[in-house]
Amino acid sequence: MLECRFPVVGRITDGVRERLRGLPAAERVTFLPFVLHGEVPALLCDACVGIVPIHLSDPYGVNGSCSPLKVVDYMSVGLPVVASMVRVEDDARAFADAIEVFLRDPERAQRDGSRGRARVETRRTFKVLAQVGVAGYRRLLETGVPASRDSPLPTAVNLAGRGPAC
């Protein structure tokens, strides 16, 4: 059996505290206070896998439209990422299995993380996003036509492994 710890940055709510009560993994979950965004990479240096357990089956359809910055943060330091919104549907067992794949295969985690980090460096840095934004506005001003849906705008990927960022 793999022994894992789950540090979570953010405030714990009474609802979360109640849901954790009595679960075997509750003692392995640690809630850390708010940190500045610039401090996040240092926190991720000890991590093996970045997880984003967002349920897609919410009644209002809000979760399916979000793009959490944590995915890019994980990828930028070379962590493999398991995100329910991208890779695994609302099946907790499948989500856990996807995490375990990376924990049991560090070479794959490294390889996938390196791919994710490279993707961030070429498509998701502030410089690249600014260039894409400026190009889009130029096109709109020059032609009056917004970018098409198949425009090559940067997008996040679902996989990333431990890289040299830390």
Write down how long the chain is: 166
Q: Supply 21's token pair.
A: 């009560």
132: confidence class by pLDDT, cuts 50, 70, 90: confident
Which residue would you say has higher pLDDT here, 67 or 130?
130
Span 150-161, pLDDT tens digits: 555 443 332 233
Give the C-alpha separation, 109 to 160, whole Å: 7
pLDDT in tens, 59-111: 666 665 566 788 889 999 999 998 875 444 557 788 888 889 999 999 999 99
Select the more confidently predicted residue: 138 or 59. 138
| DSSP letter for each residue of 37-51 | GGGHHHHHTT-S-EE
Q: Residue 152 has what pLDDT?
A: 52
Count Cβ atoms below 10 Å from residue 60 Cβ, excluding itself.
Answer: 7
**Alpha-carbon span 75 to 69, nearest angstrom:** 10
% of the chain exceeding 90 in pLDDT: 18
Top pLDDT among 163 and 44 is at: 44
Domain spans of the chain, in order of start: 1-34
Q: Is the pLDDT of residue 58 over 90?
A: no
- In tens, the pLDDT along 111-123 reads 999 999 999 888 8
* Count of helix runs (H) and strand runs (E) in the chain: 6, 4
Q: What global pTM score does this model have?
A: 0.68
DSSP state of 12: P
Measured torsion, CA atoms of residues 154, 78, 125, 5, in degrees rounded to the nearest 10: 100
- Interior/surface letters 129-151, b for 16+ CB within 10 angstroms, e for the rest: eeebeeeeeeeeeeeeeeeeeee
